[in-house]
Structure 1
Amino acid sequence: MEGFFLLMKPGPKLISFCVLCLSIAGCINPAMQQAAKKPETAVDTIIPKPTVDSTVHIAAVGDMMLGTAYPNTNGLPPDSGKNSFKEALPDLREADIAFGNLEGVLLDTGAPSAMKLKFRSKPYLFKMPEYYGGIFKDAGFDMLSVGNNHSNDFGLLGRDNTMKVLDSLGIHYAGLKTSPTKIFTLNGVKYGFCAFSPNSQTVSLLDVEGAKAIIQNLKLQSDIVIVSFHGGGEGVAFEHVTQASESYKGERRGNVYAFAHAAIDAGADVILGNGPHVSRAMELYKDRLIAYSLGNFCTYRSVSVDGVCGLAPLLKLRIDKKGRFLGGNIVSYRQSHDRGLERDTLNRASRRIKMLTETDFGQPGLSISEDGAITPVTVN
């Protein structure tokens, strides 16, 4: 019997068994017998809850145009665009959300907008074959801005067909007057997305009060609101954020500084700028990140990639589920007309954005290292 007890695991059940044996043997008093009849206390088994990732990972790039079939197919890459994002696929696909600005339309047949052909300067009209939509999908893009100065290159047909193609692929988009916003849920997080531009048929960047109303409404329905804007002048003369209204070739391009701050005041959590075809500074405002321009990322032939125009940053940022910026990284890529998009081990894009940020903002609220690491900085 003694050996039997030694083999049993100590616990409530063993104690009850011992009490029973002693009771039978007459070696226990009635009070002890009564205690033994009490129901044993339940012992909770603590099972660790699965870890829930409270961080949202976003990958964002600037302007994308994978070639144009106008006026003929000579403007398309020889590989039909299949390898456009080859170098950046890991960075794009691993993110919870991947974003970019779609310059131009997805359209197989159709004539350019008559208004565009009346421009005195040479018109750059961007029309990608419809199946190029699958290239964006395969690269991992979840969300595209279609609010820019090339979304109306082929009129109503181009706009409608682009939306039709993106719908068929499950890619979310916003920025046109007919589709100003998008709300969707991914991995349990509800996103609100909107995009703005100073151009025809897009949601106006110049109407700041209207933009604030749109953003406020999205915030009421969403966990995180992501805002894209296409604004500011174009080219190397427009690298700096001036905090004033900008114009380009007689066209009003907005005060992007005032717009971005107003957007965050209205409830935006991330601001992703594009349009100048060069990178611009970044800033942290009310714990929310503003990227004033992510420059060009993948623009085949028809867009200049000389000098700083060839720098192609890919912004990776981490925010919590309330939209607050936690940290990030600028991955430097570079593109040329003959080799396309390539990883830049010299980190020229991140170094350029670091310099612009330090030059344009005395207290940007963040720090950017030479290799592109972004960390929030407490401003006293």
Structure 2
Amino acid sequence: MKLGLTLILLFCSILLFVGCNNPTAHRPAKTEPAAEPVAVETIASPADTAINIAAVGDIMLGTAYPNINNLPPDSGKNSFKYALKDLREADIAFGNLEGALIDSGAPAAMKLRFRSKPYLFKMPEHYGGIFKDAGFDILSVANNHSNDFGLKGRVNTVKILDSLGIHYAGLKTSPTKAFTLNGVRYGFCAFSPNSQTVSLLDIKAATVIIQKLKRQSDVVIVSFHGGGEGVAFEHVPCVSEFYNGERRGNVNAFAHAAIDAGADVILGNGPHVSRALELYKNRLIAYSLGNFCTYRSVSVAGICGLAPMLKLRINKKGQFLRGQIVSYKQSHDKGLLRDTLNRASRRIKTLTENDFEASGLIISETGAIMPAALN
């Protein structure tokens, strides 16, 4: 019995010894090692540092002179209905304010002595809110209608614009405006050949104003109201212009001198028709943006009814990057509408190619604008 027990114990010991020294015995099933996490490099998109400007020409939402019959039936509320998106999305929206914001007051006596029928523009004071709601940031008050209702009209207009936070310039009492928006320091000034405004005719004095403004600004925007008026004045003659015996300035010489002095964007108005564009020292000049939203008292027949909006992108040095002419049109019965035929952009393209052999720009049929050097 003892011998049998001994043999059993010896056999178990041998099995245990073999199992412990077998390299495959009792080994856990093989598994793949856990994958190392893959590092993914995330490249942040660079911040868009370009400045987007939307600029239009003359805006005048009707006149209460000589009576309210020359005001729109909706009190002007829908004047910019189809352009609101373009205006509100811009960093800076600009227009030329033709006329005074005033409820009561007599016209300037000198205006009534004009030999031709005077066109006197007086918008109700609450119309100021329409410009604010539309998204306008800066307005030029340097034009031949800012003094239609004399000192009272001028004072009342700037008082309302101040209350709304809309920047303006161009009167002798308010020649320039400096302000900061989204970290960019802007300087704005405006000129015209008319009384009570900063003179377009004195180019030397204008350059001094612009130089001073540039020293405290990143981007300087200049408006001018100049050149002849009407369908006979579509072209930029590059000489001094006259209209009804009045000096209307050499807008080409003025624009170039303004850029030489530090201006970054030049926005022209006054002829009531569109004019050419030009790139000078990599700064954009719009010689006239025509009419944009002018109710009844301004002709919108034919090419006068073309209403371009100039959308441009510049860098923070003021250099032009690219742009787009958005074509609108006007009629006295329907007001301001988008023009899918792009007639304003096609007209400006033709004028640019005809007036400037080397404009520095390429304009497409649909209004896209690029510096010629990039093509």
Q: TM-score, normalised by structure 2?
A: 0.89
Aligned to 1:157: 152
* 1:78 aligned residue (73, 79, 94): 73
Aligned to 1:189: 184
CA shift, 1:266, in A, is: 0.3
CA shift, 1:47, in A, is: 8.8
Change over 3 Å in CA distance of 1:50–1:167 after alignment to 2: farther
Q: What is the distance in 2 between the residues matched to 1:346 and 1:75?
A: 29
Contact in 2 for aligned 1:100/1:141 (Cα 8 Å): yes
Aligned to 1:41: none
CA shift, 1:53, in A, is: 1.9
Aligned to 1:233: 228
Aligned to 2:325: 330
Structure 2: tracts of 5 or more residues without a match: 1-32
* 1:247 aligned residue (219, 242, 249): 242
Question: Which residues of 2 match residues 1-380 of structure 1 at below 5 A?
Answer: 51-378=46-373
Q: Deviations over 1:50-79 (max 9, x none)?
A: 843210000000000000000110110000
Structure 1 SS opposite 2:373: coil
Contact in 2 for aligned 1:175/1:196 (Cα 8 Å): yes
Contact in 2 for aligned 1:226/1:270 (Cα 8 Å): yes
Give percent identity, aligned residues only.
Answer: 79
Q: What is the distance in 1 between the residues matched to 2:334 and 2:75?
A: 14
Structure 2 SS opposite 1:86: coil
Change over 3 Å in CA distance of 1:250–1:107 after alignment to 2: same
CA shift, 1:7, in A, is: 8.5
CA shift, 1:9, in A, is: 8.6
CA shift, 1:277, in A, is: 0.1
Contact in 2 for aligned 1:175/1:194 (Cα 8 Å): yes
Structure 2 SS opposite 1:132: helix
Task: Determine which structure has more spread, i.e. the larger CA radius of gyration.
Answer: 2
Q: TM-score, normalised by structure 1?
A: 0.87
Contact in 2 for aligned 1:363/1:379 (Cα 8 Å): no
Q: What is the distance in 1 between the residues matched to 2:322 and 2:348?
A: 16
Contact in 2 for aligned 1:232/1:238 (Cα 8 Å): yes
Q: What is the distance in 1 between the residues matched to 2:123 and 2:267?
A: 23
**What amino acid does structure 2 have at the position aligned with 1:282?**
L
Count of aligned residue pairs for this structure pair: 343
Structure 2 SS opposite 1:227: strand
Structure 1: tracts of 5 or more residues without a match: 1-5, 11-45
Q: What is the distance in 2 between the residues matched to 1:129 and 1:48?
A: 53
Structure 2 SS opposite 1:221: coil
CA shift, 1:108, in A, is: 0.5
Q: What is the distance in 1 between the residues matched to 2:114 and 2:374?
A: 47
Change over 3 Å in CA distance of 1:317–1:8 after alignment to 2: closer
